[in-house]
Amino acid sequence: MKKKISISVMGEKFELELEEDFFEYIKEDLLKIQNPTPKELLFLILEKDKREYTTEKTLKKLLEKIEHLME
């Protein structure tokens, strides 16, 4: 099910239509970017990048283990 939301970021208004489960996943981030300080915005970006990096690293290790088991 899709969810329609309105969000204002740095004075610009956006209308988004998101899958409900994805919205729940990013809801806190959307709240943080409503009126961020530069420091909050920087840490939000770094947090996201760190999560992506960690997830990618974990997936690569799992893939290597699976490939090794299949040999």
Residue ranges per domain, the chain?
A: 1-35, 37-71
Could you report the per-residue pLDDT of 5-45, keeping only the tens digit for each?
999 888 899 999 999 999 999 998 888 888 888 898 899 89
Q: What is the pLDDT of residue 49?
A: 95
Report DSSP letters for the chain, one per residue. -EEEEEEEETTEEEEEEEEHHHHHHHHHHHHHTSS--HHHHHHHHHHHHHHHHHHHHHHHHHHHHHHHHH-
Please write the tens of the pLDDT for every residue from 49-64. Answer: 999 999 999 999 999 9
Q: The whole model's pTM is what?
A: 0.62
Position 37 scores a pLDDT of 87
